[in-house]
Every structure is written in C-alpha cells, then in structure tokens.
Amino acid sequence: MNSTATESPRRSRVALLGFGTVGQSVARILCSGELPHVQLTHIFNRQVARKRVDWVPASVTWTESAEEVLASDVDIVIELLGGLRPTHEWVKGALLAGKSVVTANKQLMAHFGTELLDLARSRGLEVRFEASVAGGIPVLRALQEGLAGDRLVEVRGILNGTCAYILSRMQSETIAFGDALAEAQKAGYAEADPSEDLDGADAAAKLAIISAVGLRRPIRVTDIATRSIRPIEPVDFLYARELGCTIRQIARASVEDSGAVFAAVRPALVPLSSGFGRVEGSQNLVTVRGVFGGETSFFGSGAGGSPTAVAVVSDVLSVAARGDGKPSNAAATKFYTVSGDFVAPHYVRFTVSDKPGILSQITTSYAKYGINIEGVLQLPKFRKDRLPFVTTLEECPESVLDRALAEVAQSDYHVQPPLALPMFS
C-alpha cells in the first residue's frame, strides 16, 4: 500500500491577533474540533495573561509579542485588533514574512487595502476581508464571485448598525436623538465616543471597500462626502411618515455612463415600503445594481461577535483550501476621482419663529437657483416661536441646494439651521 494515500493533508497553522469579543468567537470556532484543516497555534493580545481561558488547547502559544507571531511558522494571520497603527505595520510584516492575512478591519482596508493587496499578489499570498463590511453578511464574496459576470454600476447600503439602531428607535418610539443614543450605548450598539458611526466615517470606510470590490472603482475613503445623523429630530420622522417614508443612514456609490464616480454617506428619506425602510435594530442591508442582472440585495446581522466570527473563519477556510499560491484578490492600480454631489429630490425642514412672508422668501431663493418645489407640509399643534415646516423639492444637485439654503439661513427668523435630506426611492 502506498503510505501517502492515507496521509492526512497538512493543517494550516493560524495565529490570532486580538482576543476581544470577535477574537474569542473566532477562537471558539477554531477550537471546536469541527475544522480539521486549520489549527489555531498562536494568540496575541496586550496584557495577554488576563485574557487566558481554559477552553483554548494547551498547545496554543499565548504572547504579547506581535513579532513572535510574525517570526513563527504560521500560515495565516487573523487580524482583529482594529485601528491603523501599529496594525498596518503588523499586517504588512505578516505578508512580508510569507503569511496570508484575514482581517475584519474596515479602516485598514479602506486606507491601505490597495497597498496590501498589491503586496499579497506579488508574493503569491492572500488578503481576505469579508468581515470588514456588513459583519456576517457575505457581501464581498458574493460581489467577487457570485456577481462576477455582471458589471455593477451602483451600490446602496445601510452599513452601520449603530445608526440603524438609533434611527429605528427614534422612528418607533418618537424619542429624541440623545435618548436613542444613550439607549444604544447601554445596549452595546454604540461606543462611548460614537463619532465615527454617527458622522459617517464607519460607513464611508465600508463603502470604499465595496466600491473597490463590487464597482471595481477604488476610491479614497477621505474623498467620500459624509453628513451626520445628529441633526435628526423626532419631528422629522413625523413629517417623513406623512410622505410614506422613514429616515436611515444611506451609503451610496455609483458609476455614471461618463465614467464619473459618485460616493456619499448621509441620512436620507427612504420609503417605508422599501427594504431600507424595513431595516430595524442593528441590521444591515446592501443592494447592488448591475447592467445585466438588475438589483440584488443582501440582508442580515451587520454586527456582533458570532456573525462577524463566521465571516472571518469562512475567509480562513477559503485561504486554507486554495493553498496554490494563486490569490483571488484583484489588486487595484489607481484611485478614481469622486464626487458627492448627487442629484435627487430633497426634503428640507425649517424651524422658525413664525411671521408673515417666510415661505415667500424661501421660495424666492429656491427660484433664484432653479429649484422647483413639489410640496409644503406644516403639521398642526406646534409652538409659533419654534414652528417646524417642510418643503419637498424636485430633483436638484445637492451643491445647488446647499447654496440656496446658505442664503436662506441668513434670515433672522430661523430658530436653528435648515435640515436637508435627499429622498431615495
């Protein structure tokens, strides 16, 4: 009998950088005994002694030295540390040391993905990053493989679970933004400093990754226009409901026929009957549109240790299964110029100390900039010294509307600045 016929294939040796919520979930899967082709051999974490658990096999090396991991004989490094420094240096070092990398770090891939993918390709290695976007939803793999035969031209997504949770709570309970944020922090959906989520940076990083993978248009995350959800008030949900809509943070990127790339993250009105309008809690939804296949949507849990861990381990198994030195990632060669000036219908809410002639002044400014009004809404039972009313506008460039509102905002009847939100169908 040929002894090699029954010889077991070599198990891929895996190191884990980071042993937080997701890291522990990943380790549990790797240590479950259900994955015979991969073996967890190293765990790195700062102050690693306080992280030790008895369910990790004794054969695993615990270390506070990233350099020890990079110098070891592991095949795949899983990076779950987050941040850019020194994570970027460690991931780059892993590739230079001949190790493929799996990461859930959206900021790392948004800022340095092109460089890391180029380096991996030049060395016959892989960088996998499915968990960096939409947690447990396999969006990137579907774009790379399942929709590879189509030419995708647009993506829209609810990509940030914190904003989805806050806005859905404001909608369902008619509570103030600050109360919804405090509730999200207590429930563990929002960080102590939630700025990256609320102001759009988190979703922008994910949008940059999807643009590179799905639209095949690498863009710099710093070029993506973002607007915060902080100015949204309960009254906006009342008016949105009158229009058959609700409000969600929408990340949107598209490639026009001219080749121009548009990308932006901002709160927007979406129909209650749409998939975006039905998203609740911390769920994520991504919809892509292709030239040949039309629209395809991906929906599910966008955050949490277990869904994200499943995406990470799936990437590990994909890398381990290849083992042929032919990476599947397409490396980007250039960044595309980006505009955030979408043309869309708009919702504009004014809050004023009421007096005659206000609407006339506003419509005059709109007319000056060629903006057409579709309708005016004013709900009853609000105080005259703090009166909210809404104008809905026909399609116009966001930049033109901004100029008109900057002129309108100079009047002394405003209690607070006007709020403009695009309206997406």
CA distance 416 to 425: 28
Residue-wise pLDDT tens digits, 54-74: 999 999 999 999 999 999 999
Indicate if the pLDDT at residue 117 is higher than 90: yes
Based on the residue annotation, tell me whether 51 is a catalytic residue of this protein. Answer: no
Q: DSSP strand E in 113-208: where?
A: 127-128, 152-158
Structure token pair of residue 268: 């927007």
Q: How far is CA 345 from CA 3, 43, 45, 405, in A?
A: 71, 51, 49, 15
CA distance 217 to 208: 9
In this prediction, residue 34 has a pLDDT band, given cuts at 50, 70 and 90, of: confident
Angle between helices 177-186 and 161-173 (to 10 degrees): 130
Q: Which residues contact 317 (CB under 8 A, 6 or more apart)?
A: 35, 37, 38
Per-residue pLDDT, averaged over 194-201, amounts to: 95
Nearest to 276 by CA among 265, 266, 261, 287: 287
In this prediction, residue 5 has a pLDDT band, given cuts at 50, 70 and 90, of: very low
In this prediction, residue 260 has a pLDDT band, given cuts at 50, 70 and 90, of: confident
CA distance 93 to 244: 52
CA distance 230 to 195: 10
Structure token pair of residue 197: 């989520």
In this prediction, residue 207 has a pLDDT band, given cuts at 50, 70 and 90, of: very high
For the chain, the C-alpha Rg in angstroms (whole number) is: 24
Per-residue pLDDT, averaged over 320-338, amounts to: 63
Q: Where do the domains of the chain lie, and which CATH numbers do they carry?
A: 8-132 (3.40.50.720), 139-302+334-339 (3.30.360.10), 343-422 (3.30.70.260)
Predicted pLDDT at 6: 45
Predicted pLDDT at 31: 92
Nearest to 397 by CA among 405, 386, 409: 405
CA atoms within 13 A on the CB side of 190: 25
Handedness of CA 3, 324, 74, 309 (dihedral sign): negative
Residue-wise pLDDT tens digits, 218-245: 999 999 999 999 999 999 999 999 999 9
Indicate if the pLDDT at residue 1 is higher than 60: no
In this prediction, residue 257 has a pLDDT band, given cuts at 50, 70 and 90, of: confident
Indicate if the pLDDT at residue 319 is higher than 60: yes
Per-residue pLDDT, averaged over 359-363, amounts to: 95
Are 95 and 120 in contact by the 8 Å Cβ rule? The answer is yes
Q: How far is CA 293 from CA 214, 262, 296, in A?
A: 14, 21, 8
Are 41 and 74 in contact by the 8 Å Cβ rule? The answer is yes
Predicted pLDDT at 121: 92
| DSSP-assigned letters across all residues of 290-347 | ETTTEEEEEEEE--SHHHHHHHHHHHHHHHHHH-SS---PPPP--PPPEE---EEEEE
Total Cβ atoms within 10 A of residue 190: 22
Q: Give SS3 for 76.
A: strand
In this prediction, residue 332 has a pLDDT band, given cuts at 50, 70 and 90, of: very low
Q: DSSP strand E in 142-244: where?
A: 152-158, 225-226
In this prediction, residue 91 has a pLDDT band, given cuts at 50, 70 and 90, of: very high
In this structure, of 25-34, 112-121, 315-324, the range with the lowest mean pLDDT score is 315-324
**Given 186, 206, 334, 384, the catalytic residue:** 206
Predicted pLDDT at 303: 57
Q: What is the pTM of this model?
A: 0.85
Are 296 and 290 in contact by the 8 Å Cβ rule? The answer is yes
- The residues facing 248 across adjacent strands are 268
Per-residue pLDDT, averaged over 322-340, amounts to: 64
Q: Give SS3 for 23.
A: helix
pLDDT mean across residues, the chain:
90
Per-residue pLDDT, averaged over 300-304, amounts to: 64
Predicted pLDDT at 187: 84
Q: Give SS3 for 393.
A: strand
Per-residue pLDDT, averaged over 139-160, amounts to: 88
**Phi, psi values for residue 334, rounded to 5°:** -155, 160
Q: Give SS3 for 408.
A: helix
Indicate if the pLDDT at residue 37 is higher than 90: no
Predicted pLDDT at 305: 61
Phi-psi region of 33 (alpha: psi -120 to 50; beta: other; left: phi over 0): left
Predicted pLDDT at 324: 44
Structure token pair of residue 22: 């997701």
